[in-house]
Amino acid sequence: MTASASTPSVVAITGAQTYLGTELLRQLSDDPSIDHLIAIDLEKPDVISDKLSFYRVDLSDPKASAKLAAILEETRPDTFVHGAFFSSPIHSHKRVHEVENKGTARVLAACAQIKLSRFVLLSTTLAYGAQASNPAYLAEDADLLAMSRSGFVKDKIEAEQQVMKFAERNPAVRVCSLRFAPILGPQIVNLFTRFLSRPLAPNLAGRDPLIQCVHERDAVRATLLALRSDCRGVYNIVGKGVLPYTTLLAVLGRLPFTMPTAFARAIGRVMWSIRISEVPVSLIDYLQFSWVADGSKAEKELGFSPQFDIRETLYDFLGTEQSPQHASQPRY
């Protein structure tokens, strides 16, 4: 049974120019129950609505907390969605830390100064890490083992931990974190869409982990359900089904090139250090071991059931119903 629904009327969104942020704004702008939308980002999202107000805020700025507090004091949102996170790794870890870790602290400091009803964090199942000891399905209470392995994921985990502490200090606010499986689709651009767009894909010798994803439209729908739910806590948002990595590559028409894990780490470390690779070596773990999340809690408590299975998601990502051998590249 799903939790009783609540109706937001004024919604603020950080990361408004991301795919999820923009789609949320578009769909909420058509909702007659929504009175006002507050978009917060470095650039204005491509959304035209009389309900929308845009505020340029750089979360890496030490003064961002005061600026956000003034915006929230003026606009008085009842619901806040925090999605200002990097969708792909960048080489400047300092920049990532300032935006994702310290930026989240600044967001929460501002939110604590108003009477907020709902706070939703957009997180990732990458947080669980890829380990040989992982169970078949990772529930929301599993240890977040990526903390010690991946710099790309570490700040996202620390942001989530900050949000959970905020929830403890502010029990009147209904706080939830949505951990998304890799989001794929014809419109979204992130680490996974870039990786899977290449004609060649690395494959670790003797390894074939199960891969899970969620369609971009299902990701938006799950977030909208969370905005209108009274649920609290962490929820895995995943698509239907999984595929072995090599099968996934075959469905996409990608050509695997196999290499020993040790060699992949060595060459990956060098390529990252000289900035000719977009993928840090820590993410090689995710091609070595399975990290499949259990989506049953979101189905039971949020009422979220994915509409797309993994093959449908992959074909929609390709942007074609043709066979993969003749599929076009995804749109950007």
Q: Confirm whether 45 is domain-assigned.
A: yes
What is the CB neighbour count within 10 angstroms for residue 211?
24
Query: How far is 46 from 72, CA to CA, in rounded Å?
Result: 22
- Tokens standing for residue 92: 């400047």
Q: Are the C-beta atoms of 174 and 230 separated by less than 8 Å?
A: yes
Dihedrals phi, psi of 54, to nearest 5 degrees: -105, 140
Q: Residue 123, Cα to own-chain centre: how many angstroms? A: 5
Q: Confirm whether 88 is domain-assigned.
A: yes
Query: How far is 325 from 208, CA to CA, in rounded Å?
Result: 21
Q: Confirm whether 258 is domain-assigned.
A: no
Give me the pLDDT at residue 148, please. Answer: 66
What is the CB neighbour count within 10 angstroms for residue 202?
17
Give me the pLDDT at residue 320, please. Answer: 62
**Nearest in space to 314 (alpha carbons), one of 176, 193, 233:** 193
**Cα angle 94, 98, 101; round to 5:** 115
Q: Are the C-beta atoms of 285 and 127 separated by less than 8 Å?
A: no
Q: Confirm whether 284 is domain-assigned.
A: no
- Tokens standing for residue 23: 């789609």
- Domain CATH number, residue 135: 3.40.50.720
SS3 245: helix
Q: Confirm whether 280 is domain-assigned.
A: no
Give me the pLDDT at residue 275, please. Answer: 81
Give me the pLDDT at residue 331, please. Answer: 27
Q: What is the largest CA-CA distance in the chain?
A: 58
Dihedrals phi, psi of 300, to nearest 5 degrees: -75, -45
Q: Where are the alpha helices (DSSP H) in 76-140?
A: 93-96, 103-111
Q: How many domains does the chain contain in total?
A: 1
Q: Confirm whether 273 is domain-assigned.
A: no
User: Who contacts 168 (Cβ-Cβ below 8 Å, separation ≥6)?
Assistant: none
- Expressed as residue numbers, the domain containing 83 is 10-183+215-237+293-306
User: Who contacts 193 (Cβ-Cβ below 8 Å, separation ≥6)?
Assistant: 184, 185, 317, 330
Q: Confirm whether 40 is domain-assigned.
A: yes
User: Who contacts 252 (Cβ-Cβ below 8 Å, separation ≥6)?
Assistant: 196, 314, 317, 318, 324, 327
- Tokens standing for residue 205: 């010798």
Q: Confirm whether 97 is domain-assigned.
A: yes
Distances (CA, A) of 157 to 64, 70, 149, 269: 21, 27, 12, 23
pLDDT in tens, the chain (332 residues): 444 567 899 999 999 999 999 999 999 999 999 999 999 999 999 999 999 999 999 999 999 999 999 999 999 999 999 999 999 888 788 899 999 999 999 999 999 999 999 999 999 999 999 999 999 999 999 999 877 677 789 999 999 999 999 999 999 999 999 999 999 999 999 999 999 999 999 999 999 999 999 999 999 999 999 999 999 999 999 999 999 999 999 999 999 999 999 998 898 888 888 887 777 888 899 999 999 999 999 999 999 999 999 999 999 999 864 434 333 332 22
Give me the pLDDT at residue 5, please. Answer: 61
